[in-house]
Every structure is written in C-alpha cells, then in structure tokens.
Amino acid sequence: MTSSAKNKTKKALRNTFIISSALATLAYLIYLKLSHYDEGVIPPLGKSLPFEKQKFDAAKGTVFHQSTGTHIVIPANALLDKDGNPVRGEVELNFREFQNAREIFQSGIPMQMGDDREKYFASAGMMELTVKQNGEELQLKKDAAIDVELASAIQPDADFKLYFLTDDLNWDKGKGFETVPNSRRDSALANLPERPDKPINPLADSTDFVFELVSDYKRMPHLKTWKDVKWRLISSEKGLLPEDALRINWDKISIKQVDGSENVYAMDFKFFQTDYEGKVIEKSFSMKATPELTASELADAVLAYNTDLVNYELEFASIDKEEDRLRLEAGLLNKFKINSFGVYNIDKLKNAEILASVNLSFDFENELNPKINRVMLYVIDEKERTVFKFNAFDWNNIPITENDYSLVALLPDQTVAYVSKESFRAVINTSTLSPILENKFHFTTERFSYDKFEDLIQPKENTPRFI
C-alpha cells in the first residue's frame, strides 16, 4: 500500500472514530436527559390537595383546628412582610396536611433520599402552612413561634423525627417532637350532651333466653327507660354469644323497633378502643329481642313510644353525628413548635426490606416507548405512607416488600394508567419471588383522566384519612 493510501486510510479511521465518539457522547447525553429525575415538589397530576383557608387579624393571632384533630395556634403580632415590617390587618392562613400515601402522591413532595434514591421516608403525618396578605407570603418574627399539634397516623417510635423541606428540595437533618393524646377529642367525647330517654315499645314473648340491660346511666341516660325490664332473645348475629356480649362494657347501645314489626326490637352494641398506634378500632354486636310486659303496660308504652319517637330520633341523631365526627380525629397528636412557614414531615428514614427486585412491563408499551416519552411510574405504599417514583430505565429493578402497592403511570396524553393494590397482588405473589433469578411481570392497566383518577383515590365519606 502506498504512503498516500495509508494516510487516507488513517484519516478515514480517525474520522470514523470521531463520528462514533460524537454519536456515543450524544447518545449518552440523551440517555442522561431521559433518565434524569426532576427535583423538588412536583405534583404528578398538575395540582396538589387544596388548601384549607382561614382569615384572621394579625394583631390578634388565631386558633386553627382541623377535622383530623390537627390544632395550630398562631400568636398575636407574630408576622412580618417580605421587608421585615410588622404586619397589621387581615391576613389569610393556608394549610393542608397529607395523612396517607395517596395524599402524599398527589402532593408531589419528594420521599426518596440520597443519590441512589434507595432510602425513603415513612411518614406519620405531613403538613404545609403559609400565611399571606394580599397574595404575598409572610414570615414569622425571630422571637415568635407557632404551636402545632399535627394529627398522627401512627404511634411514632424513637427513630421518627420532625423534618423541614428547605427550598422545596432538601429535607433538613430533623429534630425532636412530642407525641401526646388528643385530649381535646377525648374531652369532647366525654362531655357530649346526654342522649334523651327512649320510650319503651314492648314486644311479644319469643325465646327462653332472658336478660336485663344494666349500664352506666350517666353516660347513656336513654337506657334508664329499659331499667328493670326483662327481655327475651329472639335472634343474634353469629360470632359472639349473647351471654358473652352482655358482659362487655359497651360504649354505645341503641334500641330501635324493627321496620314492619310491632313485636321486635333491634339492639345494636358498639365498643371503641384506641390501639397502640392511636387508631380507633370499633367492635360491634347486634341482636333482636322482646320485653316481657303485661297487656296494660304494653298499651301505655306503645302510646308513649309513638308520641316521643320522632323527637327522640332527631335529637339522638344530632348527638350521634357529633360523636362520629369526633371519632374521625386522630387519637394521637405530634406536638412541636415552628419558626418558619413551609412543609413539615414527621418521618422515619428507612431502607426498604426488599424481598426481591422485579422487572415490570405494561400494556401501554404497545402504544408508546416509555423511555423516550419519559413515562414516570409511581409506586404507592399505603402501609408506610410513602411514594416511590421510577422512570422507565429503572423498571427492571423495582424493589418489592411485603407491603401492598398500587402503581400509577403518567402517560403523555394526560391520562393515568393504574394498577390497584388488589390487581398488583393478583399478579405478584411475594411468596414465590426469587431473590436470585429475574422476576418478570406484565400488567394490564385501567385508564383514567386526571380528574377521574383524583376522584377515585379520594377517601370515602366518614372514614379516617389515616389509611
């Protein structure tokens, strides 16, 4: 080969190398861009939970109470404007709290930590608080502090700390707090108005199991009507024996005539207990019975019953409604002081106890490339009250634990591809996962618009937000 030919070959090889290197660099830069995780608070559905608002006079301060039991006290003359001047006049408190994994998902508040994103926060309650005047965010005086009692989803252990989100990006190192009983709720429950006496509607004889209702008439004065009345059992629900049920110190007993019958009363018993996490657990028992009364007693009691029943039921329902409202509050509160506005979280920093890693695929991948389209997958862990997010480059190494997951993938057409926790467990059986071999699973998803999905994940009416 001539010298000229050799030079041409070298030049061609050099150009090929340069072009290849440039293409490889470009491909790597594209990969970095597509696989990048955006930082900060980014609500996945474009909007977070709405704020609860309350206007107040800055010179007087305010007390703010939520249906969860959360209680906030802002002292008088504690606010400054952006230039450090004392604030006068009407201001507006803006508050929201995130008490379950679905609400944390909607918030977009980051829960994974570290460069490798393997650490995560398990939450016992999270909140955001600001105060504004004419749309401008205010600040606290240096010597002022806001008292906060944040409803607690669980009984936090010693590893939980109070964290503050700095610049919507990074959590601080955390500090201590105090967990206290929700004494306001407990006191309100103990001091509910006395329920009115309920008139007797005497019933016919039925079975040989005879009993009397004995109760704390101060707590349940309506049961005085039934004092010394002997009842005969007609039927009871399966599970608890009537003789065992009648030994329990029930918190609520209601007695109501069975529809369409003049001879049968339904008795409903309820018992409320607070577990070690501060959650209220309800137990119940039901039976049907008839009292033993003479014919004249029967006639007198039926007349009184029909006369008084309407007013009784209205008054009883009003008291019951207030009691049910109070029982939706948390049994425990995490108590602390804050010196600045923003996002606070009662959290435990954890490493996932991983059973195995899985490689997931989805039906929507037949329609689009999730890597190029940057489809983000959110893994919602209800038990830990946390959320993980993974781009498509990481779907081959998603950690699986014993907890129930639901999956939410945000598609480029502004829709949600959803896998419920029931559907997730129907596909993935944790007892058969291999910690060594690759675990591949394919999911068929449900599709929702953002609005429809928000409606789907809202807590049901009259249920606690802590699940």
If one counts every other C-beta atom within 10 angstroms of the C-beta of residue 159, the result is: 10
Q: What's the confidence (pLDDT) of residue 118?
A: 78
Q: 289: which strand partners? A: 233, 265
Q: 184: which strand partners? A: none
**What element of type H or E holds 15?**
helix 3-35
Q: What's the confidence (pLDDT) of residue 315?
A: 66
Confirm if 358 and 133 have CB atoms less than 8 A apart: no
**What element of type H or E holds 277?**
none
To the nearest 10 degrees (0 to 180), the angle between helices 295-327 and 183-190 is: 170
Residues counted in the chain: 467
> What angle (nearest 5°) sits at the alpha carbon of residue 432, between those of residues 430 and 436?
100
Name the percent of the chain in helix, strand, coil, to the closest 5. Answer: 25, 35, 40
Distance (Å, whole) CA 353 – CA 123? 16
Q: Which CATH class is domain 52-182+330-348?
A: mainly beta
CA distances from 351 to 97, 109, 118, 121, 435 (A): 25, 18, 7, 9, 17
pLDDT tens, the chain, 467 aa long: 566 665 666 666 666 656 666 556 655 456 567 778 888 899 999 988 999 999 999 999 999 999 999 999 999 999 999 999 999 999 999 999 999 999 999 999 999 877 667 788 999 999 999 999 999 999 999 999 999 999 998 899 999 999 999 888 889 889 999 999 999 998 888 777 765 554 444 444 444 788 888 776 666 766 777 777 888 888 888 878 888 887 777 878 888 888 877 678 898 988 876 654 556 677 889 999 888 767 677 667 667 666 665 665 666 677 777 888 888 888 899 999 999 999 999 999 988 667 778 899 999 999 999 999 999 999 999 999 999 999 999 898 888 888 889 999 999 999 999 999 999 999 998 888 888 778 899 999 999 999 999 999 887 777 788 87
Phi-psi region at 425: left, alpha or beta (left = phi > 0; alpha = psi -120 to 50): alpha
Distance (Å, whole) CA 158 – CA 116? 26
What is the pTM for the complete model shown?
A: 0.72
